[in-house]
Structure 1
Amino acid sequence: MSKDEQAIEAEIQKKGKTGPRITPDMLDAEIVDEDYHVFPRTQMTVCVLTLKNGFTVIGKSACADPANFDADLGRMIARDGARNKIWPFLGFRLKDQIAAGEV
């Protein structure tokens, strides 16, 4: 969980918001695998996150100047990009459950 997510979580708790919602921990629990690839002759890093149901999301990172390339930073940025794409899917799932009276 990022520092921003921690701050948001703290604010949600402080304000006593108790309705159904997706939490960062719930999101992270959906991820079962991650793979990375740096394309030859580039500074492009791609991250593929596989979710429990087999669905995949992709994030990427690249730098304009090869002197700024760092494999670890590239993986971190690409993973964050992929992870951020999961929120809308889980929100959609939760909204369906709310509409069906399941939560």
Structure 2
Amino acid sequence: MDSLKLGDAAAAAVSKTDNRVTLDSMIAKVEATEYLWPDVMPHMTICVIRLKNGFSLVGKSAPADPENFDLDLGQKFAFEDAVRQMWPLEGYALRERMAGEA
């Protein structure tokens, strides 16, 4: 999550309004997380996150060399991949809310 936190902190530092998607707000919407390792590629980590509204996202990670597989890093990178996919969706939802206020 370090890279996500760095990006979120950089965005917060230049933010001029409260209208922004934050990492904390997205993490708070995660209701469940499950990790999978396919039999055909056991060094690949797949992370499925279910959000509180029932929507799901899938993140994945895999080292180029299977010998470099690390369980903890695989989970970390796959979860981050899923969260990164959430960012544009949350941005769209924020713009919709902002348009409704105008």
Give 1:76's aligned residue.
Answer: 76
Q: Deviations over 1:27-66 (max 9, x none)?
A: 1111111000011252111000111100000100112222
Which one-letter code corresponds to 2:51 in the other structure? L
Give 1:62's aligned residue.
Answer: 62
Across the two proteins, how many residue pairs are aligned to each other?
A: 99
Compute the TM-score of the two structures, normalised by the length of structure 1. Answer: 0.85
Q: How do 1:34-53 residues align onto structure 2 when only pairs under 5 Å count?
A: 34-42=33-41, 43-53=43-53
Fraction of identical pairs, as percent: 40
Give 2:21's aligned residue.
Answer: 22
Give 1:90 deviation, angstroms.
Answer: 0.7
Q: Which runs of 5+ in 2 are unaligned?
A: none
Give 1:9 deviation, angstroms.
Answer: 4.7
Structure with bigger gyration radius: 1
Say if 1:5 and 1:24, in contact at 8 Å, map to a contact too.
no
Q: Which runs of 5+ in 1 are unaligned?
A: none
Please state whether the residue corresponding to 1:40 is helix, strand or coil. Answer: coil
Please state whether the residue corresponding to 1:60 is helix, strand or coil. Answer: strand
Supply the RMSD in Å over aligned alpha carbons: 1.9
Compute the TM-score of the two structures, normalised by the length of structure 2. Answer: 0.85
Deviation >4 Å, runs of 4+ = none
